[in-house]
Amino acid sequence: MGYLDIEHLYFQYSSKRMILKDINLSINQGEWIAILGHNGSGKSTLAKLIVGLLQPKEGRITVDGVDLLPENVYDIRKKIGIVFQNPDNQFVGVTVRDDIAFGMENLQVSKDDMLKKIDFYATKVGMQNFLDKEPSQLSGGQKQRIAIAGILAMQTDIIIFDEATSMLDPGSRAELMEYIKELHQEGLTIIMITHDIEEALYADKLVILKSGEIYQQGDIPTLLKHPEWFKEAYLELPTAIQIYYDLKQAGHDNQELEEYLWAFSSSK
Amino acid sequence: MKNIIIGQYIPGSGFLYKLDPRTKIISVIVLMVAVFLLKSIVQLSIAMGLAILILIAGKISIIRIFRGLKPIFVLLIFTFVFQIFFNKEGALWVDETMTIGFVSITSMVLWTIIWRMLAKFKKFKMILFILYIGGLYLIMKYITYGTIFTTWQFLVYEKGVEMSFFVVIRLLIIITLSTVLTLTTKPTDLTQGIEKLMRPLKVIGISSEDFALIISISLRYIPTILDEANKIMLAQASRGADFAEGKLKDKIKQIISLLVPMFIIAFKRSEDLADAMESRNFVPGRERTRIHDLKLGRLDLLTGLATVLLLAGSILVRIYL
Ligand SMILES: Nc1ncnc2c1ncn2[C@@H]1O[C@H](COP(=O)(O)OP(=O)(O)O)[C@@H](O)[C@H]1O
Ligand SMILES: [Mg+2]
């Protein structure tokens, strides 16, 4: 039993087509897992199921031993936060301060407590000098950091990132990844949903989703030994690994280069 | 698009900034009522004087207010002209015979063309408009030669002039008051104030919290949506669409081609937003604490008192004068 367990989960929207089929997943506290899948593979749907925005057709989700049901979704959401893809579509407040406060207001945190936490968590994501700014004055990366601060202030155990960096420029993207690394080091459980393998390399464990099914899962070096799996799942390999396989196929067998390329990919 | 200012709040330090939004909202409403009780130009002028005093006391630049009037300038002119033309009471002050004939119509058309050509000087729009109207008057009055089609009497009565000033001054005061409110109150505080004032409506099943949340989210998304409209327009302009010129039919087509993507995006956005709010534990109607807390102070008491006095004053004036 992990901290978050998903057992035989099936889901479909109103249409007949099953979007998720027999998903089984167990995530331990403090783990960083990446869920990698092509466009439309059902990643966002899975994320919404985990935070109770959608209800499974079959199967169950348990968090900390408690079944996720409509009756207790409010309490379970205190444990799981989610950062979505589009920075602009999740900024609820008129100012940064208001936005960080939004979740806490819903949890009925007292005003004094809120102000303290806003200061603390805004500082944590490097936004302490922006509290009075409006979203139109912020970059996408800054807005995503505010979303993180808002979730941290709710003191959840797990944060899900659903392609949270995909609309950012490379600079803010790298910056955001650094913040996420830090959170992980402090003990937060990270579920990183992405279609970008380079980003998935940060994780302890990789789950490959293909057309609504878990196609492969395991630790990253093991999975990377099977380039055909990535191809099958319509995914790309990390550039360094791709170069390694290309060289190998062309008959170059350089032990030193091989080691270097593998090390390069796991240095995240 | 860029110069549409939503909730034209401008940071400042005068006493108006320190007032609780509730005090300001109520005072503005009460003062508007008081203004509507007044019935002579003299009384209104005094009220206007008081409004200016409030501006000075609140350290608000009068030029700012004036600039705020720009968008409704046409409405003011229209009100003024309407009163002058249609109010036929009191002594007859002006009785001019206006001529419409071949030469005068030609002149008017030429004059209109000149005016339209000068319209690119946007800065002088108001002055040019006044000059244009004045020009039309002069043409109809003095160009009386050539073939005459018809004549008409331009009549101005005492009451007409009085009423037009009356209505315009009243409008000016009302606008000044509401501008003061939006200029000195942050949109967040304004919605918070409205929320608190609407609390009693809970009895008839209206949730003031939800209502305030709807307002504040709308405020938050208006700049984003305008920005998006700009992007779509640029994208379409780069593909040859021209929003400024063109036939009416083309314009309508272009507007539709702007609205369709905007609606699609807005639809997706509202879904995303609902998910984001729900995932952060928002439950409609459920009790929430608030980061913005409103507190009434001494200043609010004084302002309230002054407002009541002013209202009493205008009631007395109404009854006894
Ligand atoms: N609200 C919805 N209603 C119906 N079908 C949907 C809805 N959202 C997503 N889908 C479909 O479910 C599948 C998985 O979508 P999604 O979970 O968003 O994939 P991903 O996030 O991996 O790109 C897609 O085929 C998509 O068309
Ligand atoms: Mg997705």
Domain assignment present for B217? yes
pLDDT of residue A72: 93
- C-alpha closest to that of A74 among B215, B269, B287, B206: B287
Residue tagged 């000016």 (tokens)? B172
Average pLDDT, stretch A206-233? 94
Distance (Å, whole) CA A17 – CA B183 = 54
Residue of A242 and A127 predicted with greater confidence: A127
If one residue of A12, A14, A35, A45 were mutated to test the ligand 1 pocket, choosing by the most ligand atoms within 8 A of its CB, it would be: A45
Q: Which atom of ligand 1 lies nearest, measured to the CA of A39?
A: 23
Q: Phi then psi for A60, rounded to 5 degrees?
A: -140, 155
CA distances from B92 to B82, B86, B132, B156 (A): 17, 13, 25, 6
Pocket of ligand 1 contains residue A39 by CB under 6 Å: yes
Ligand 2 centroid from CA A85, angstroms: 8
Average pLDDT, stretch A56-76? 95
Taking an 8 Å cut-off on Cβ atoms, the answer to whether B273 and A90 are in contact is yes
Domain assignment present for B182? no
Residue of A nearest to B291 (CA): A111
Residue of A27 and A259 predicted with greater confidence: A27
pLDDT of residue B3: 40
Distance (Å, whole) CA A105 – CA A110 = 8
Distance (Å, whole) CA B306 – CA A57 = 64
Pocket of ligand 1 contains residue A41 by CB under 6 Å: yes
Distance (Å, whole) CA B111 – CA A136 = 45
Distance (Å, whole) CA B283 – CA A77 = 12
Confidence of residue B240 (pLDDT cuts 50, 70, 90): confident
Contact between residue B14 and residue B184 where contact means Cβ atoms under 8 Å apart: yes
Among A74-88, A175-189, B41-55, B210-224, the minimum mean pLDDT is found in B210-224
Chain B residues lying within 8 Å of A103, measured CB to CB: 280-281
Domain assignment present for B110? yes
Instruction: Please state whether B274 falls in left (phi above 0), alpha (psi between -120 and 50) or beta.
Output: alpha
pLDDT at B6 over 80: no
Average pLDDT, stretch A191-211? 94
pLDDT in tens, A90-128: 999 888 999 999 999 999 999 999 999 999 999 999 999
pLDDT of residue B4: 40
Ligand 1 centroid from CA B227, angstroms: 27
Q: Which helix (H) or strand (E) holds A23?
A: strand A18-27
Pocket of ligand 1 contains residue A13 by CB under 6 Å: yes
Domain assignment present for B312? no
Contact between residue B140 and residue B100 where contact means Cβ atoms under 8 Å apart: yes
Confidence of residue B248 (pLDDT cuts 50, 70, 90): confident
pLDDT of residue A268: 63
Q: Which helix (H) or strand (E) holds B145?
A: none
Average pLDDT, stretch A243-257? 82
The closest ligand to the CA of A161 turns out to be 2
Distance (Å, whole) CA A161 – CA B50 = 57
pLDDT of residue B2: 40
Average pLDDT, stretch A185-211? 95
Domain assignment present for B276? yes
pLDDT of residue B108: 94
Contact between residue B136 and residue B110 where contact means Cβ atoms under 8 Å apart: no
Separation in Å, CA of A15 to nearest CA in chain B: 19
- C-alpha closest to that of A226 among A240, A239, A216: A216
Q: Which of B135, B155, B175 is the last residue of a domain?
A: B155
Q: Centre a 10 Å sphere on the Cβ of residue B287 and count the other Cβ atoms it contains.
A: 9
pLDDT at B60 over 50: yes
Per-residue 3-state assignment (H helix, E strand, C coil) for A89-148: HCCCCCCHHHHHHHHHHHCCCCHHHHHHHHHHHHHHCCCHHHCCCCHHHCCHHHHHHHHH
| Mean model confidence pLDDT for chain B | 87
User: Cα angle vertex A38, ends A36, A42, to 5°?
Assistant: 80
Domain that holds residue B279: 208-284
Taking an 8 Å cut-off on Cβ atoms, the answer to whether B281 and A91 are in contact is no
* A61 secondary structure, DSSP code: E
Residue of A nearest to B187 (CA): A94
Contact between residue B280 and residue A150 where contact means Cβ atoms under 8 Å apart: yes
Residue of B64 and B318 predicted with greater confidence: B318
If one residue of A13, A15, A39, A207 were mutated to test the ligand 1 pocket, choosing by the most ligand atoms within 8 A of its CB, it would be: A13
Contact between residue B137 and residue B81 where contact means Cβ atoms under 8 Å apart: no
Q: Which atom of ligand 1 lies nearest, measured to the CA of A212?
A: 14
pLDDT of residue B124: 82
Chain A residues lying within 8 Å of B275, measured CB to CB: 48, 53, 84
Q: Which of B252, B267, B284 is the last residue of a domain?
A: B284
Confidence of residue A20 (pLDDT cuts 50, 70, 90): very high
Q: Which structure tokens are listed for A122?
A: 């805004």
- Both B149 and B213 in a single domain? no
Confidence of residue A241 (pLDDT cuts 50, 70, 90): confident
Residue of B nearest to A45 (CA): B275
Average pLDDT, stretch A66-77? 94
Q: Which helix (H) or strand (E) holds A62?
A: strand A58-63
Task: Out of B219, B224, B289, name the one closest to residue A105 (CB).
Answer: B289
Average pLDDT, stretch A80-95? 94
pLDDT of residue B321: 80
C-alpha torsion angle, residues B136, B140, B142, B148 (rounded to 10): 150
Residue tagged 């031993």 (tokens)? A65
Chain B residues lying within 8 Å of A50, measured CB to CB: none
Average pLDDT, stretch B109-122? 90
Domain assignment present for B267? yes
pLDDT at B314 over 90: yes
Residue of B nearest to A104 (CA): B289
Domain assignment present for B39? no
Pocket of ligand 1 contains residue A44 by CB under 6 Å: yes
Ligand 2 centroid from CA A221, angstroms: 25
Domain assignment present for B25? no
- C-alpha closest to that of B36 among B305, B320, B310: B310
Average pLDDT, stretch B223-232? 85
pLDDT of residue B213: 84
Q: Closest Cα to atom 24, ligand 1: which residue? A: A40
Q: Which atom of ligand 1 lies nearest, measured to the CA of A15?
A: 4
Residue of A69 and B209 predicted with greater confidence: A69
pLDDT of residue B208: 81
Of A38-42, B247-251, B253-257, which one has max mean pLDDT?
A: A38-42
Domains identified in chain B, total number? 2
Q: Closest Cα to atom 6, ligand 1: which residue? A: A13
Q: Closest Cα to atom 16, ligand 1: which residue? A: A42
Separation in Å, CA of B212 to nearest CA in chain A: 12
Average pLDDT, stretch B70-92? 83
Confidence of residue B173 (pLDDT cuts 50, 70, 90): very high
Average pLDDT, stretch B257-274? 90
Taking an 8 Å cut-off on Cβ atoms, the answer to whether A84 and B276 are in contact is yes
Residues within 5 A (CB) of ion ligand 2: A 44
Residue of B nearest to A50 (CA): B279
Of A175-189, B172-186, B210-224, which one has max mean pLDDT?
A: A175-189
Q: How many CB pairs under 8 A join A and B?
A: 92
